[in-house]
Amino acid sequence: MSVTDVVARLRQAHALLTEARHATTQADAAITDGATLFANATAGSTQPEVGHINHLATASSTEVRAANALFAQAQDLIDAYCHDIAGHGIGDHGNTSSTSPRNGPSAHVEAQATPSLNTATEDPETSYAGWIAELRRTGTKISPERIIRMARHRDGHLVWLEEGTEGSSGLAHILRPKRQNDFEETGTPAKQVADLIISAIERGSLAGYCGKDAEVYDVDFGGKKRRVAIVISKNGYIVTSYPMNLEDRVRPNKRRA
């Protein structure tokens, strides 16, 4: 089997693990909702079954979260292996749409990780129609005409990058003159910044946190390991991003103690 064939299989496995992680996130949400309904319905009950069911709900939630973490570790190992045998990570080169294992929305995670702003053949509003609909079903306010890129976060929820404005948020803010220079000094041209951000979210390793609530990722991109901080709002909107050096210190927890 050629290296190309092996990489194609690795991408399929990576995409399936993304689906599995999304499933664990949905399962965790369902367990939490069910446990809340059950707790409200049985408030004040002294029956032993009630306590046992509550214990099982807590244990189940812990287990699916552990599974999600293990799936993420497996993805990191697949990416590292791909880099060892092919010289690049899972999403660094080539279009993966032909290797996606199925046609559902979650199967598009890998396919949408690769196209750059210069080579995409469809406008984002069309490409991400399914994900946009998913956000709207949950009541999330979103402006499809402003979307540049979307991705599914390792925790299962959707995130998106908009055109934005230089003085506020979004890609225009990220690529304001000083910040654009920061990216270029660390080896990422302005036209690749959006790709770097999405690649970090989809397949990067979470190194920690910095600032108020920025997620810091290490990711192989363009044949080099890079570190990038990304601020994502609670609804999934990517507020800003900035490059970091691999030696820069990060904290293990999102919020400062």
State how far the Cα of 21 lies from the Cα of 92, in Å rounded to an integer: 21
Stretch 157-170: mean pLDDT: 95
Ranges assigned E (strand) in 72-168: 147-152, 158-162
1-37 burial code (b ≥16 CB/10 A, e <16) = eeeeeebbebbbbbbbbbbbbbbbbebbeebeeebee
User: What would the mean pLDDT of 111-136 be, rounded to a whole number?
Assistant: 63
* Arithmetic mean of pLDDT over the chain: 84
Q: Are 209 and 244 in contact (CB under 8 A)?
A: no
Inform me whether the pLDDT recorded for 16 exceeds 60.
Answer: yes
More confident residue, 204 or 112: 204
Say if residues 163 and 191 touch (Cβ distance below 8 Å): no
Lowest mean pLDDT among 9-18, 89-98, 104-113, 115-124: 104-113
To which H or E segment does residue 24 belong? Answer: helix 3-41
Statement: residue 244 has pLDDT above 60: yes
Residue entry with tokens 């949950």:
138
- pLDDT at position 256 is 59
* Digit-coded pLDDT (tens) for 59-101: 998 898 889 889 988 988 998 898 889 888 776 544 333 333 3
